Amino acid sequence: MKKLLLLFIISSTVSVFFAQGISFEHGTFDEALKKAKAENKLLFMDCYTTWCGPCKMLQNNTFPNAEVGTYFNENFISFKMDCEKGEGPTICGRYGVSAYPSLFFIDGDGKVVQKTMGYRPPESLLAEAKKAMGGSTSLLNEYKNKYNSGEKNEDVLRGLVTNLAKNGESFDSYWKEYLALQKSENLLNDVNAKMIFELTNSTNSPSIKYFKDFKSFFIDKYGAESYERKQESIVARTIKEATQKNDKSLFADAINLVKANKMSRGDEVITKQSLFFYSGVKDMVNYDKVAMTYLKKTKNLAPNVFTEIMGNYISNIENPKLLTKAISICRKSVNKEDKFYNNIALASLLYKNKNQAEAFAVAQYALDLGKKEGVNYWPAQELINKIQIERGSKK
């Protein structure tokens, strides 16, 4: 019973910090568009205003939906544009926004693939998204038919690979065939260079060798920032695949790419991706090593990053020694910045480490902080309630 109560508290606490739904990019429109292009995805842009009622309905009812979040986060780079602030008037003017909300699906070159307006419940927005994703289905079938009938020339293979990629289907075997047909003098022509840059998505890609070997060429052509962003995307996709397969060798390939290509943010990328991998494969000993090194050397840790790391200790770590180290980090964080987010993490860790009395006191304090800060404080209240129930059952 106690274990069930603990799991309930943990899931309640962590779910607040890791809300489901669409993950929107921060930064500028151009940065989001470049990321979409680098990852060979469409950009989903929500054009809104702060006073628009249907916009608020989207924000509150549709965007947080778990099914919507899963589909959009997998297939799109998502971006919100306030049409009355910052670059909003310029961008919204460029795309002819005349009503709110206006929802755009935009390709990596900035061209509109699909547009819709007004409030959309989850099932309706998903239908629009799938329609945008399927825009090239008929063309893809045409290339598939040509290939299956024996037409395997460069034009057919190029069209097949490009349209498979647009539709999110596997294309590596055809991509390998296409590359094998290229003569050395044509390998880096404008068409092929663009394809190599856009379609190299993991360290297993048939074109990864060219992406690495011709680094200087691609930097000259697309810029150092775009090359670095693309490299981060390749690493992230490879780590995701390695995590799904629990493949340590593939994980090592991704880390070696970061080191070999001397990424400017290499240490940060390695730390972030290592934490993702070790958490995903439940290797919490190595997760702890990376997390503790990172937490100790980082002076100004963002609350969301702190919360994510502590959430993994709360959810996945049972070793009392490791929990004690996390509790120590939490105490230092609280001493530096006394906020709800680090106090509720401390209370949850104390509870998991069987320090019920202090967990209760810290949870009560976190509850008061949450009310003062105007944040969702119900995880603290839930923890308090569960401890009170446990105490009552012992009498």
CA distance 132 to 45: 13
Please give the Cα distance from 393 to 97 (Å, whole number): 60
Q: Does residue 265 carry a pLDDT above 90?
A: no
The label of the residue with tokens 């990321």 reads 35
Confidence of residue 7 (pLDDT cuts 50, 70, 90): very low
Contact 206, 176 (CB under 8 A): yes
Peptide bond connecting 122 to the previous residue in cis, omega within 30 degrees of 0: no
> What is d(CA 290, CA 269) in angstroms, rounded to the nearest whole number?
12
Helix, strand, coil share (%) of the chain residues, nearest 5: 65, 5, 25
Of the listed ranges 33-42, 195-204, 236-245, 337-346, the least confidently predicted one is: 33-42
- Say which DSSP state 263 is in: -
pLDDT confidence bin for 183, thresholds 50/70/90: very high
Domain 282-394 sits in CATH 1.10.10.10: no
Mean pLDDT of 25-48: 91
Q: Tokens standing for 201?
A: 């998505």
Helices and strands, number each (H, E), in the chain: 21, 4
**For residues 98 and 117, what is the distance between their CA atoms, to the nearest angstrom?**
9
pLDDT at 300: 84
Residue 115 φ/ψ, nearest 5 degrees? -140, 140
pLDDT confidence of residue 34: 92
In which residue are the tokens 């390939």 written? 253
Residues of the chain with CATH 3.40.30.10: 29-133
Of 257, 254, 228, nearest in space to 38 by CA: 228
User: Which residues are paired to 82 by β-bridges?
Assistant: 48
SS3 per residue for 103-128: EEEECCCCCEEEEEECCCCHHHHHHH
Question: What local confidence, expressed as pLDDT, does residue 137 receive?
Answer: 60
Determine the Cα angle at 308 with ends 306 and 311, to 5°.
105
Q: Name the nearest CA neighbour of 36 among 170, 172, 230, 176.
A: 230
Written as six digits, the tokens of 146 are 């040509």
Q: Tokens 């069930």: give the residue.
A: 4
- Is the model's pLDDT at 20 over the cut of 70? no
Residues 86 and 81: their CA atoms lie apart, in Å, by: 9
Return the half-sphere exposure (C-beta side, CA atoms, 13 A cut-off) of residue 361.
3
Please determine, for residue 394, whether its predicted confidence score (pLDDT) is greater than 70: no
Using DSSP's 3-state secondary structure scheme, residue 321 falls into helix
Asked if 242 and 202 count as a contact pair (C-beta separation under 8 A), the reply is no
Does residue 135 surpass a pLDDT of 80?
no
C-alpha distances in Å from residue 288, one per residue of 203, 274, 291: 26, 11, 5
For the entire predicted model, the pTM comes to: 0.63
Query: Can you spell out the DSSP letters for 328-395?
Result: HHHHHHHHHS--HHHHHHHHHHHHHTT-HHHHHHHHHHHHHHHHHHTS--HHHHHHHHHHHHHHHHH-
Q: Where in the chain do CATH 1.25.40.10 domains reside?
A: 282-394
Stretch 215-224: mean pLDDT, rounded?
94
Judged against a pLDDT cut of 50, whether residue 8 lies above it is answered with no
Which CATH superfamily does the domain covering 29-133 fall into? Glutaredoxin (3.40.30.10)
Q: What is the DSSP letter of 326?
A: H
Contact 341, 301 (CB under 8 A): no
Q: What angle do CA 46, 198, 112 make, to 5 degrees?
A: 30
Reduced to 3 states (helix: H, G, I; strand: E, B; else coil), residue 26 is: coil
Could you tell me the end-to-end alpha-carbon distance of the chain, in angstroms, rounded to an integer? 16
